[in-house]
Amino acid sequence: MPRATAVINLDLPGPVISRHLYGHFAEHLGRCVYGGFWVGEDSAIPNEGGIRLDVVEALRALDIPNLRWPGGCFADEYHWRDGVGPRAERPRMVNTHWGGVEENNHFGTHEFMALCELLGAEPYINGNVGSGTVREMSEWVEYLTRDGDSPMVRARKDNGREEPWPVRFWGIGNETWGCGGNMRAEYSADLARQFATYCRDYGENKLYRIASGANEDDYQWTETLMRQISCFGCEATPRTFFQGISVHRYTLSGPWEAKGSATEFTTDDYYRTLASARRTDRILTGHSTVMDLYDPGRRVGLVLDEWGTWWDVEPGTNPGFLFQQNTLRDALVASLHFDIFHRHAARLVMANIAQTVNVLQAMVLTDGDALVLTPTYHVFEMNKGHQDADALTVHLRAEDAVRQAGDAELETLSASASVKDGTVLISLSNLDADEPAEVTLDLRGGALGAAEARLLTADRPQAHNTPQAPAAVAPRPFDGVKATDGGLTLTLPPHSFATVRAPLV
Ligand code: AHR
């Protein structure tokens, strides 16, 4: 049986793990918005002003910190004025990226802001650079955030909203290297500077402008953006044009053309997937290293605003809707990512799973009035105590905890820890498909009181939840944690995720 020791110095807190690393993403794609978040006021499904209440309730339990909208690729063909005013009069458009379906614009700015208020989440609005204008984006910021009297403020009031909304996170385009305009890095960086200039801070509202960044390991893109980041000489006080830059990185088990089924996969596929997930660590290190060169003081944040698994769509569903099931394998991809995010907390300021409802690696799947919590949902819930906590470095020394994953080797144990308000939370994943693993937590610089542990596992990595079996993969209390001289010990079952919570004493 693989064995490992995890050394944790309880008295050496590291950077704060921003709550925004647990961020979300809702695109006008398939059934994410329509049928997922939004059912309309006339629906028999319980709703508030058209927003689906079971989805809101499930997501509130995750303490979701922010929600990115309206895309994705959709953001760069979205024209916000089409989505305000009386719904019946809103113009329609074709959603060319996602299934070629007609978009009726019934879910627009006011509906999105109402959703964020119901969720208790900060809005993260992604503006249109690819097919929009500087003026259009500038006026959207004014419409949302300006107080007093101005043309956009009057338009907002005419549409029923007196007060401006607080909006911090603002995306300047999406994937401008691809669906957002097929630009070169140099051109995209110039546009980011131009658009950012006209996205104004009104009153107390301070925008956190996020420039469209790299795909995966395109460090050249990040370097090009970082060279353009500063506005020296254009104002008395040098500032950065944008406060964050994005990167997107999806997890697959093989090539893009052969993504495979979400639920039917071999052990080899399983290990390849987890090895791919682990590569996110290297990619974030690469981008952070480039950013350190230009911004050693870390004024600019790295924003992984799309991450998650991408499988073939479920048989019989629209290929443009990206609807996929979600198994214990997906949950372990998520738990691995969170360990990685916690290690990168000094530079990584936000991460957004793609996507929250009914699309790609979702938290919840809906079918008519039924709602299912996915295994990934449970990882977000079990880990929510890390939000805004101080990271604790985990030094993991393992024996025999390696499996072959195609040409690569996969380390099968992963962990991270944090402390907040005198409570320590430790997350542990055993990725081995067949073997349990014994882990000793060697705690130094302090001691813990009585520990409470929870476990997420199932009989096999392919296990998933359906309306008929909604709790096939669900967390349960775990009484296998034993106190030792200098810490705790536990045996993790194969393909499992566990959390241990205990007070500092
Ligand atoms: O999340 C689905 C799509 O993936 C997004 O629209 C796009 O930004 C990315 O390519």
**pLDDT, tens only, 394-407:** 999 998 899 999 88
Pocket test for ligand 1, best of 74, 247, 248 (most atoms within 8 A of CB): 248
State the sign of the Cα–Cα–Cα–Cα dihedral 457, 460, 461, 463: negative
Q: For ligand 1, is residue 111 a contact (CB within 6 Å)? A: no
Q: For ligand 1, is residue 23 a contact (CB within 6 Å)? A: no
In this structure, the dihedral spanned by the alpha carbons of residues 381, 385, 386 and 391, taken in order and rounded to 10 degrees, is: -150
**CA of 175, closest atom in ligand 1:** 8
Q: For ligand 1, is residue 72 a contact (CB within 6 Å)? A: yes
C-alpha count within 13 angstroms, C-beta hemisphere, residue 200: 14
Regions in the chain scoring below 70 on pLDDT? 231-239
> By alpha-carbon position, which residue is closest to atom 8 of ligand 1?
72
Q: For ligand 1, is residue 416 a contact (CB within 6 Å)? A: no
Instruction: Determine contact, residues 212/172, Cβ cutoff 8 Å.
Output: yes
The residue assigned the tokens 């006011």 is 110
**CA of 360, closest atom in ligand 1:** 1
Q: For ligand 1, is residue 247 a contact (CB within 6 Å)? A: no
pLDDT at 229: 81
257: annotated active-site residue: no
Going by C-alpha positions, the residue among 355, 292, 278 that lies closest to residue 324 is 355
> By alpha-carbon position, which residue is closest to atom 3 of ligand 1?
72
State the sign of the Cα–Cα–Cα–Cα dihedral 393, 397, 400, 402: positive
Going by C-alpha positions, the residue among 120, 165, 286 that lies closest to residue 218 is 286
pLDDT at 9: 96
> By alpha-carbon position, which residue is closest to atom 1 of ligand 1?
354
Q: For ligand 1, is residue 181 a contact (CB within 6 Å)? A: no
Pocket test for ligand 1, best of 306, 324, 355 (most atoms within 8 A of CB): 306
What is d(CA 165, CA 201) in angstroms, rounded to the nearest whole number? 12
Q: For the full predicted model, state whether its pTM sits above 0.95.
A: yes
The residue assigned the tokens 């495979």 is 260
Q: What is the DSSP letter of 72?
A: S
204: annotated active-site residue: no
How many angstroms from the chain centroid is the CA of residue 422?
27
List beta partners, residue 404: 409
Annotated catalytic residue, options 77, 111, 142, 175? 175
Cα(284) to centroid(ligand 1), Å = 19
Q: For ligand 1, is residue 174 a contact (CB within 6 Å)? A: yes
pLDDT at 23: 98
What is d(CA 440, CA 451) in angstroms, rounded to the nearest whole number? 14
What is d(CA 484, CA 226) in angstroms, rounded to the nearest whole number? 48
pLDDT at 230: 73
Annotated catalytic residue, options 77, 103, 122, 306? 306
What is d(CA 118, CA 111) in angstroms, rounded to the nearest whole number? 11
**CA of 178, closest atom in ligand 1:** 10
Going by C-alpha positions, the residue among 365, 305, 356, 347 that lies closest to residue 62 is 356
What is d(CA 58, CA 129) in angstroms, rounded to the nearest whole number? 33
> By alpha-carbon position, which residue is closest to atom 6 of ligand 1?
72
Q: For ligand 1, is residue 73 a contact (CB within 6 Å)? A: yes
pLDDT at 399: 87
Q: For ligand 1, is residue 381 a contact (CB within 6 Å)? A: no
> By alpha-carbon position, which residue is closest to atom 7 of ligand 1?
72
What is d(CA 261, CA 250) in angstroms, rounded to the nearest whole number? 15
> By alpha-carbon position, which residue is closest to atom 2 of ligand 1?
72
